[in-house]
Amino acid sequence: MKKNNMPLNLRERINSRIRLLCSVIVLVLLVLVMHQMDYTLIRKPQKEAAEAAALKEQQDKIKAETPVISTASVIAVGDNLYHSKLYESGENDSGIWNYDHIYTHVLDQIQAADVAMIDQETVFAPSHDAVSTYPSFATPQEVGDAIIKAGFDVVESATNHADDYGYDYLKSTLDFWSTNYPDIPVLGIHATQEDADTVKVKEVNGIKIAFLDYTYGTNNSGAGEGYEYMIDIFDKDKITTMIQKAKEISDCIIFVAHWGTEDETMPNEYEKQWAAFLMQQGVDVIIGGHPHVLQPYGQLSDDQGHNTTIFYSLGNFVSTQQELPELLEGMASFTIQKSTLNGKSTIQILSPEVKPMVMHYDYDNGEYGPYMLDDYTEELASSHSVRNVIGDEFTLDNLKAKFKEIMSMNVKPSTNTNLLNVKFDWEGNMIDKTTGNVVEDTESIHSWEYQADTSDGTEDSSDSSDSSSDESSDDSSNEYDSDY
């Protein structure tokens, strides 16, 4: 049988081709493996690193263009003025006096704020036997305990009553604060010259807030010779220096001003001139008091880029005065916003408003204390003891109408400066510090004049920026004791 043998050279060619094919396949596989290894070990990490770097660069750019924002909410109330019926409401035969009940109805608003400010109108008596009311006030120390317990954490004390009893009671008041509440900023009165030269600063949520507090003058002659530093009284050079100090160590400046004409709802010329000056110096917020009635609030600005938020007067907070406007009062509310970008910070004052309040007292039932007007009722108004004096005038509707009337007044700013260098004598006259001459106020108008002009259509309402008018004279006879 014939064998079918393949020639040797053909077999070798086939084997050679097979080996070549295998080598090509192996080479392709090696190339693929190397390519994958190159992608996995080199190109992919490089791509991911580049993408991560690009993403980080984009995030850093966004971060660099987005400011860091922090806020602090602030409320402020008016004069904490204790007449005899009020301090008698906290007396106890055991000798333990307490005034927590006075602030019951406004605790939520006080404690919700990051900063809560109050004007403690009077000095504290060194003992219960020394407590007194109008015309020279000395208030129980337990009132200080009550306002701190209520949630107030900044106390304003530069008032016309700061020297009602001279050095001794002023020193006793300062000792009370430093001993019992050393961390509470007490403004406007000082135990030493060093303290008087130091700006009080409170840091809240990363915002450094500086506080200054000055009064137009006092009812008496001060704390005595050599103790002039104990009460901060309006002085242009001193205030300019203190504002500059405040700028160096704070983000925001709040200036408390004890000024204005008592029982006058229209800001006076003294207020207006000082408000413009304080704005130009860089004060962010001005909070006014002393008239015992509300005055308008708003924004002051000029063509040089200065601006400030101003509350001309918040009226009373706690008192037993006897006129409807003296019992209508306000709680200033605003938010300080700090924006920081590339190491530079700016401040804005957001949502400023005055929330209406009313001071309630019912002698028959022993009820005393302020209410937010939104929480007040006609039933409460009908039980108010002031109705024994002013009758049916005191109603919820009339309180609301008076608030609307006051807040709708347009306060025309002043560009005058002639009242920045005056002081006040014991009769409330303005005296030029340089010449000693009486300075007449010819610019101020009363609210009734404003209302008459408005009703006649002659009031210029084109200028809606805030400022004040009429002179700051303290007629102490208007701040009467409301007890009867």
Q: What is the pLDDT of residue 14?
A: 82
332: β partners = 76, 354
How would residue 481 be classed by pLDDT, with cut points 50, 70 and 90? very low
Determine contact, residues 236/281, Cβ cutoff 8 Å: no
Please state whether the peptide bond connecting residue 135 to the residue before it is cis, i.e. omega within 30 degrees of 0: yes
Cα–Cα dist 214/232, whole Å: 5
Token representation of residue 424: 């006040």
Name the phi and psi angles at 208, rounded to 5: -90, 115
Q: What is the pLDDT of residue 63?
A: 63
Token representation of residue 396: 């919820």
Pick from 27-41, 114-128, 194-208, 378-392: least confident:
27-41
Q: What is the pLDDT of residue 116?
A: 98
Q: What is the pLDDT of residue 456?
A: 74
The pLDDT of residue 45 is above 90? no
**What pLDDT digit, counting tens, does each position of 272-293 carry?**
999 999 999 999 999 999 999 9
The pLDDT of residue 470 is above 50? no
Helices (runs of H) and strands (runs of E) counted in the chain: 14, 18
**What pLDDT digit, counting tens, does each position of 335-356 carry?**
999 999 988 999 999 999 999 9
Q: What is the pLDDT of residue 461?
A: 39
Q: What is the pLDDT of residue 7?
A: 66
How would residue 479 be classed by pLDDT, with cut points 50, 70 and 90? very low
Can you tell me which residue has the tokens 């104990």? 230
In 10 A of CB 78, how many CB atoms?
Answer: 32
How would residue 62 be classed by pLDDT, with cut points 50, 70 and 90? low
**What pLDDT digit, counting tens, does each position of 237-267 carry?**
999 999 999 999 999 999 999 999 999 999 9
Query: Percent of the chain at pLDDT above 90?
Result: 77
The pLDDT of residue 471 is above 50? no
DSSP state letters, 143-185: HHHHHHHHT--EEE--STTTTTTHHHHHHHHHHHHHHH-TTS-
Cα–Cα dist 342/63, whole Å: 10
**What pLDDT digit, counting tens, does each position of 115-168 carry?**
999 999 999 999 999 999 999 999 999 999 999 999 999 999 999 999 999 999
The pLDDT of residue 484 is above 90? no
**pTM of the entire structure?**
0.85
Mean pLDDT of the region 450-460: 75
Dihedral sign (CA 239, 241, 243, 246): negative
Q: Which domains does the chain have, with CATH numbers?
A: 68-416 (3.60.21.10)
Q: What is the pLDDT of residue 385?
A: 98
**What pLDDT digit, counting tens, does each position of 292-333 carry?**
999 999 999 999 999 999 999 999 999 999 999 999 999 999
